[in-house]
């Protein structure tokens, strides 16, 4: 424990001097004319009364200590490092195909929201949607309610004409990379959710994009919804960046995929330094307790002149 204004502690000599005077001063009783007897000194009650007289002095000492600003160090806590997670969601027309109890889009958004809920930490989440064109729908934010509110508005059937006519994964990944490059701190991660092939990854373009992501320290996880295998180009990009790809054939499998991604992308703990906090509470408790005892003593516990 230390003090923010330790010089104020020098004033403690005042209550210290008063305490010396209280305990060294002898209280002499006044002899009454009819009192010819030899009275006992009553040392026990004298001791108790002097203790009560010391309480206001102790309260003064506590007030001086509080004015000096007592502080103590808080226990250092480890917290998870920030991870910037950009969801790259396919909104092509095929995402309206039946998948479990709803559509592929419904299952994808439900799994994304569950992933956000069970991932603990101070992560930032963003959402980029794509078809033939790419659009950033939710900027990187820690406000996860934005994803729940976005679900009814992003139905592929609600997209403007020409938006969902194709699946341009390469263009979408480059847009996600541009967004993540603007983040100065934290790990970077892309979760691609799609159900089809992409024509803009042919001819070695997948390797070019993969090395662009790797150079920026961005890890890609690919989730393929529906039938068939993960496109080879997406699998190649994920492998080069240090991520992985998964194929989900039903709703339960999709949920398990996101849990697997969470377990693979474990956030590191960063060490935090102990900060100085006000340490008033023990002195306040002692002061209030002494004040209560002193108030009780005022009901009659005092010296009398006879």
Contact 171, 206 (CB under 8 A): no
Ordered DSSP codes for 19-65 = HHHHHH---PPPPPTT--S-----HHHHHHHHHHHHHHHHHHHHHHH
Six-digit token string for 179: 């967004």
306 residues of the chain, pLDDT tens digit each: 788 888 999 999 999 999 998 888 765 555 555 555 555 556 777 788 888 889 999 999 999 999 998 888 776 655 556 788 899 998 888 888 888 788 888 888 888 888 888 776 678 899 999 988 888 989 988 888 888 888 888 888 777 766 667 788 999 999 999 999 988 777 888 999 988 788 788 888 899 999 999 999 999 988 888 777 888 899 999 999 988 888 887 667 677 777 777 766 555 555 555 577 888 889 999 999 999 999 988 887 766 655
Tally of CA atoms within 13 A in the half-sphere of 281 that contains its CB: 3
**CB under 8 Å to 94, separation ≥6 — which residues?**
104, 167, 195, 196, 226
> Taking the model in full, what pTM does it have?
0.61
**CB under 8 Å to 41, separation ≥6 — which residues?**
none
Ordered DSSP codes for 137-181 = EEEEES-THHHHHHGGG--GGGSPTTTTSS--HHHHHHHHHHHHH
- Cα distances from 134 to residues 34, 78, 127, 196, in angstroms, run 109, 38, 11, 16
The bridge status of strand 79-80 relative to strand 269-270 is antiparallel
Q: How far apart are CA 267 and CA 161, in angstroms?
A: 40
């Amino acid at each position: 424990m230390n003090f923010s204004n330790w010089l104020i502690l020098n004033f403690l000599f005042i209550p210290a001097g008063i305490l010396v005077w209280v305990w060294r001063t002898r209280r002499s009783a006044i002899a009454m004319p009819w009192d010819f007897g030899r009275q006992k000194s009553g040392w026990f009650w004298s001791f108790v009364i002097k203790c009560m007289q010391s309480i206001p002095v102790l309260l003064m000492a506590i007030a001086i200590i509080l004015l000096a600003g007592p502080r103590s160090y808080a226990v250092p806590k480890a917290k998870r490092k920030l991870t910037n997670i950009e969801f790259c969601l396919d909104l092509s027309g095929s995402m309206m195909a039946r998948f479990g109890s709803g559509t592929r889009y419904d299952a994808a958004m439900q799994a994304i929201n569950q992933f956000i809920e069970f991932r603990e930490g101070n992560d930032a989440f963003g959402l980029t949607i794509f078809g033939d064109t790419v659009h950033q729908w939710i900027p990187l934010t820690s406000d996860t309610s934005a994803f729940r509110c976005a679900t009814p508005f992003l139905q592929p059937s609600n997209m403007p004409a020409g938006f969902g006519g194709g699946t341009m994964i390469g263009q979408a990944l480059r847009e996600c990379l541009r967004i993540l490059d603007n983040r100065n701190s934290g790990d970077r991660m892309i979760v691609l959710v799609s159900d089809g092939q992409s024509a803009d990854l042919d001819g070695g373009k997948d390797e070019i994009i993969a090395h662009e992501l790797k150079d920026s320290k961005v890890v890609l996880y690919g989730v393929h919804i529906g039938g068939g295998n993960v496109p080879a180009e997406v699998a190649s990009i994920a492998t080069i960046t240090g991520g992985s790809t998964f194929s989900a054939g039903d709703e339960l499998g999709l949920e398990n995929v996101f849990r697997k991604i969470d377990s693979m992308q474990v956030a590191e703990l960063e060490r935090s330094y102990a900060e100085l906090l006000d340490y008033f509470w023990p002195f306040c408790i002692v002061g209030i307790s002494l004040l209560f005892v002193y108030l009780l003593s005022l009901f009659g516990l005092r010296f009398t002149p006879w």
